[in-house]
């Protein structure tokens, strides 16, 4: 492999300044593998031309899988032959992105042997990203990954690599075991993850409370958000301690409550828990005094996505509360019904959220066998154009 | 005897997380009682049993060499028994049981160039996409802009002096691999020219019905070239440059050096704390690509952050602050011109019109 350094006058500007530099990272990689020099060379050309020099992907992968590898080819391979093929592998991360030094070193060994040595920690979906290798190295990389206990993640029209917040491992607010559920769901749907058979992608994201540290409500087809049913656990002594230490409980806590369900009389905080919407603000501000209740579980919301194609959507409520110990079974049954309907009626590249918009939530609920309940809407419809079904009229 | 082929292992899924948990985390799993900040980027969690796990968080450029990953692994070995994790915003977190190791670890991180911070009311790391480093449809770079913006906002990462947390995300085209559409500030690469149809190759590389169906506004129609090749034509005034046709068909070339660039969006959030999750709204429709240091984008973001920091009340996220003062005031305070492009004209546009006479005059 030719070890050609290219001039990188523009990129060198991005080595300056206090924030850690990705250009330095690529240069470090190039010390071990000259692929990095050609990547820098092509990127420098992009900086000059103000345009990407990657071609549209191609279909590459490992045997038996339809996802997990993103094909990538240079549109200037003559100038930068070492990145003529520069494919990405998505490697399924462990729940919560926890590692030991030893396992990280092993992953590095694999990637230094078979690829550029350049990674993303992590990709937006959550995978460990191995950035840049050739087609002939895909199988050997995969073999070494599985030998070390790792597998590929999702890509294309399949279950995308599920991700979760840190949950019970290091957070007192986790209303269910996000890491376990994420891992269990990932293992349960290995076939759906590796072999694309859907109209488009399907994302699961698990957040232990409404703070939603993995942005499930904004970007996952099924958003599992931890919540509780009983009363906020309240330690009055600790509340008084916060007040003594200068927290203005009326202004900083009560006034920000979205349902105004809290009263502070200067010495005692009273919460009307039946009017609480579990927004987390008061708990966020006073973590020593207030904690989620003890009867914990999750709200299931469906349909979030980025703008492509009909516009961005946030997930909306399907099931207001599922107790923690019923989450696995409920989710399995729910996605089974949703996927059945989506696979039959979904159009090419249509996410579940868009399908719901197209067929109507009422029809979608009928299809998956859920009853309409007021928790599903912010308000009932305000237009009179109701598609009343004729068989229901006849039944009256 | 012929050698038996090695059995191919597939569908094993990720390794079980339990193998990688600090013994103290394993012991107190699900029994954490509260947490407390110690300094920007440093906090501890205390369990019901009184055990404490300390976390030191540092920013990374997301794109990491194996050498840097090994350097993190070495630091984890040196200070915390080899236990570390990454966050959803590309930060690395070291998990310590001995608080005496916090300062030496911070010093070592600073020495190798990774800033400690990104907690509470700071600007955490910028979630971002691949850009020109690895993507074919990017309208701009990702890593370079993030680097330039974070250089300018470095002190906002290492200090916690904002009214509330501020989350910035960058996606290099409308596909939004980074799902940036619910961020306090979103930096979004945009195309502004209709696709250039490659009539010579389209019939060879794309399925025409798929290309036609891919267009959300019905702007693409089947056509035949003068020399009889099957192709498509684009009704240019119906194109809003989403790039979906390019995603399904490489012969719909979209990238354009002079007209691609960046838009800035503000006021989104995903958390339910106080107010409900909301989308980010358009602040600046277009800033040209200015590699290598993107001064236009950097100045625009710094300006919005500074105006927010000066005017928002404690606990107000960007969108909550704007909801209180109103959009006219936001545009006035930031000096950003309001244009016809800020008024929605896509589906159900009326939901964002001012439909009341409640106006701050």
**Consecutive sets of 10 residues in chain B, 361 residues long: mean pLDDT of each?**
74 98 98 97 98 98 98 98 97 98 98 97 97 95 98 98 97 88 97 96 94 94 95 95 92 94 97 96 98 98 98 97 97 98 83 82 84
Question: What was the pLDDT predicted at B354?
Answer: 83
Identity of the residue in A22, A149, A225 whose CB atom sits nearest the CB atom of B15: A149
CA of residue A236 relative to chain centroid, distance: 37
B208 at A interface, C-beta within 8 A: no
Alpha helix positions (H), chain A: 9-12, 22-32, 35-49, 101-114, 138-147, 178-188, 190-194, 216-219, 236-244, 281-285, 327-345, 352-359, 361-368, 390-395
Q: Is the CB of residue B138 less than 8 Å from the CB of residue B155?
A: no
Instruction: Report the DSSP pairing between strands B42-47 and B52-59.
Output: antiparallel
Interface of B with A in 130-169 (CB under 8 A): 130-138, 141, 143-144, 147-148, 150-151, 154, 157
> Is the preceding peptide bond at A122 cis, omega within 30 degrees of 0?
yes
Which residues in A240-305 belong to E strands, given as ranges? 262-264, 269-271, 290-291, 296-302
Question: What was the pLDDT predicted at B87?
Answer: 97
Burial of B358 (0-12, 13-18, 19+ CB in 10 A): exposed
Distance between CA B347 and CA B237 in Å, rounded?
16
Q: Do the chains contact at B138 and A171, CB–CB below 8 Å?
A: no
A vs B: CB pairs below 8 A: 359
Identity of the residue in B6, B151, B179 whose CB atom sits nearest the CB atom of A219: B179
Beta bridge pairs of residue A118: B65
Q: Which helix (H) or strand (E) holds B53?
A: strand B52-59
Q: Do the chains contact at A309 and B138, CB–CB below 8 Å?
A: no
**Eight-class DSSP state of A304:** -
Q: Which helix (H) or strand (E) holds B212?
A: helix B208-213
Distance between CA B280 and CA B187 in Å, rounded?
10
> Is the preceding peptide bond at B292 cis, omega within 30 degrees of 0?
yes
Beta bridge pairs of residue B186: B169, B265
Sheet with B185-190: strands ordered across: B168-171, B185-190, B261-266, B281-288
Q: Is the dihedral of CA B215, B219, B222, B224 positive or negative?
A: negative
HEC assignment per residue over A47-68: HHHCCCCEECCCCCCCCCCCCC
Half-sphere exposure of B227 (CA within 13 A, CB side): 3
Beta bridge pairs of residue A322: A298
**What stretches in chain A show pLDDT beneath 50?**
none
Distance between CA B247 and CA B320 in Å, rounded?
35
Question: What was the pLDDT predicted at A389?
Answer: 80
What is the ipTM score, two decimals?
A: 0.96
**Eight-class DSSP state of B98:** -
Contacting residues of A for B134, CB less than 8 Å apart:
54, 72, 86, 88, 131-132
Interface of B with A in 316-345 (CB under 8 A): none
Best residue in B133, B154, B295, B297 for a mutation probing chain A (most A CBs within 10 Å): B133
Distance between CA A105 and CA A330 in Å, rounded?
38
Distance between CA A243 and CA A241 in Å, rounded?
5
User: Which 3 state secondary structure label does DSSP give B110?
Assistant: helix
Distance between CA A134 and CA A77 in Å, rounded?
13
Question: What was the pLDDT predicted at A3?
Answer: 63
Question: What was the pLDDT predicted at B355?
Answer: 80
Min Cα distance A147 → chain B (Å) is 8
Question: What was the pLDDT predicted at A393?
Answer: 66
Beta bridge pairs of residue B37: B43
Distance between CA A254 and CA A243 in Å, rounded?
13
Helices H / strands E in chain B, number of each: 11, 14
Distance between CA A175 and CA A178 in Å, rounded?
8
Interface of B with A in 37-66 (CB under 8 A): 45, 53, 55, 59-66
B36 at A interface, C-beta within 8 A: yes
| Cα–Cα distance list, A175 to A114, A124, A231, A297, A324 (Å) | 41, 24, 13, 6, 8
Any residues with CB less than 8 A from the CB of A377 and at least 6 apart, and which?
Answer: none
User: Which 3 state secondary structure label does DSSP give B41?
Assistant: coil
Min Cα distance A380 → chain B (Å) is 16
Long-range contacts of A284-287 (CB under 8 A, 24+ apart): A284/A211, A284/B273, A285/A247, A285/A252, A285/A253, A285/B315, A286/A238, A286/A239, A286/A242, A286/A247, A286/A253, A287/A172, A287/B34, A287/B35, A287/B36
Question: What was the pLDDT predicted at B358?
Answer: 84
Best residue in B17, B169, B267 for a mutation probing chain A (most A CBs within 10 Å): B17
Min Cα distance B255 → chain A (Å) is 7
Min Cα distance A205 → chain B (Å) is 12
Mean pLDDT score of chain A: 95
Distance between CA B61 and CA B134 in Å, rounded?
15
């Amino acid at each position: 492999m030719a070890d050609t350094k290219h001039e990188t006058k523009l990129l060198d500007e991005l080595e300056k300044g206090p924030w850690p530099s990705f250009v330095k990272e690529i240069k470090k990689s190039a010390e071990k593998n000259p692929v990095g020099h050609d990547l820098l060379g092509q990127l420098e050309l992009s900086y000059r031309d103000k345009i990407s020099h990657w071609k549209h992907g191609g279909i590459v992968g490992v045997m038996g899988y339809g996802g997990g590898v993103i094909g990538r080819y240079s549109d200037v391979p003559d100038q930068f032959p070492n990145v003529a093929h520069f494919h990405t592998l998505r490697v399924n991360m462990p729940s919560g992105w926890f590692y030991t030094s030893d396992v990280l070193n092993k992953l590095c060994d694999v990637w230094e042997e078979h690829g550029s040595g350049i990674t993303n920690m992590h990709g937006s979906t959550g995978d460990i990203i191995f950035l840049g290798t050739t087609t002939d190295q895909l199988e050997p990389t995969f073999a070494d990954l599985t030998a070390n206990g790792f597998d590929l993640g999702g890509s294309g029209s399949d279950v995308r690599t599920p991700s979760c917040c840190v949950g019970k491992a290091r957070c007192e607010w986790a209303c269910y075991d996000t890491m376990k559920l994420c891992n269990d769901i990932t293992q349960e749907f290995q076939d759906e993850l590796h072999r694309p058979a859907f109209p488009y992608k399907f994302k699961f994201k698990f957040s232990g409370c409404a703070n939603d540290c993995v942005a499930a409500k904004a970007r996952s087809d099924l958003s599992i958000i931890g919540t509780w049913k009983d009363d906020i656990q309240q330690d009055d002594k600790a509340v008084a301690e916060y007040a003594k230490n200068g927290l203005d409980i009326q202004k900083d806590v009560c006034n920000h409550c979205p349902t105004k369900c809290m009263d502070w009389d200067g010495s005692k905080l009273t919460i009307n828990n039946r009017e609480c919407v579990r927004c987390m603000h008061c708990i966020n501000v006073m973590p020593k005094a207030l904690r989620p209740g003890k009867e914990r579980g999750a709200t299931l919301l469906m349909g979030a996505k980025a703008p492509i194609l009909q516009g961005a959507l946030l997930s909306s409520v399907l099931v207001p509360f599922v107790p923690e110990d019923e989450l696995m079974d409920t989710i399995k049954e729910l996605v089974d019904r949703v996927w059945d309907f989506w696979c039959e009626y979904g159009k090419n590249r249509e996410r579940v959220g868009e399908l719901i918009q197209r067929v109507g939530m009422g029809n979608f609920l009928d299809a998956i066998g859920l009853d309409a309940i007021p928790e599903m809407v912010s308000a009932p419809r305000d237009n009179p154009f109701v598609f009343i079904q004729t068989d229901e009229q006849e039944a009256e | 005897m012929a050698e038996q082929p090695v059995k191919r292992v597939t569908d094993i899924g990720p390794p079980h997380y339990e193998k990688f948990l600090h013994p103290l985390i394993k012991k107190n799993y699900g029994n954490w009682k509260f947490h407390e900040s110690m300094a920007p980027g440093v906090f501890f969690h205390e369990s019901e049993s009184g055990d404490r796990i300390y976390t030191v968080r540092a920013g990374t450029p997301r794109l990491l060499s194996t050498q840097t990953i090994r350097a993190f692994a070495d630091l984890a070995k040196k200070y915390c028994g080899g236990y570390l994790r990454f966050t959803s915003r590309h930060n690395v977190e070291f998990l310590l049981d001995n608080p005496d190791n916090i300062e030496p670890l911070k010093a070592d991180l600073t020495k190798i160039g990774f800033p400690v911070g990104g907690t509470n009311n700071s600007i955490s790391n910028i979630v971002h996409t691949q850009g020109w480093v690895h993507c074919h449809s990017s309208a701009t770079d990702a890593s370079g802009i993030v680097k330039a913006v974070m250089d300018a906002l470095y002190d906002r990462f290492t200090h916690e002096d904002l009214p509330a947390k501020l989350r910035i995300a960058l996606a290099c085209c409308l596909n939004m691999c980074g799902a940036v559409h619910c961020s306090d500030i979103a930096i979004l690469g945009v195309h502004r020219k209709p696709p250039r149809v490659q009539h010579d190759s389209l019939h060879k590389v794309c399925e025409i019905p798929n290309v036609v169906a891919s267009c959300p506004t019905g702007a693409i129609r089947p056509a035949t070239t003068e020399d009889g090749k099957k192709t498509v034509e684009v009704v240019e005034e119906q194109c809003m440059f989403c790039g979906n046709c390019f995603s399904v068909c490489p012969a719909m070339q979209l990238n354009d050096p002079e007209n691609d660039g960046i838009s800035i969006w503000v006021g989104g959030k995903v958390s339910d704390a106080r107010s409900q999750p909301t989308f980010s709204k358009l602040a600046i429709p277009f800033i040209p690509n200015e590699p290598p240091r993107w001064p236009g984008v950097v100045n625009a973001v710094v300006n919005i952050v500074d105006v927010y920091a000066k005017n928002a009340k404690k606990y107000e996220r960007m969108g909550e602050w704007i909801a209180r003062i109103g959009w006219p005031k936001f545009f006035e305070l930031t000096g950003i011109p309001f244009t016809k492009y800020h008024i929605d004209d896509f589906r159900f546009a009326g939901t964002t019109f001012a439909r009341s006479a409640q106006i701050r005059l």
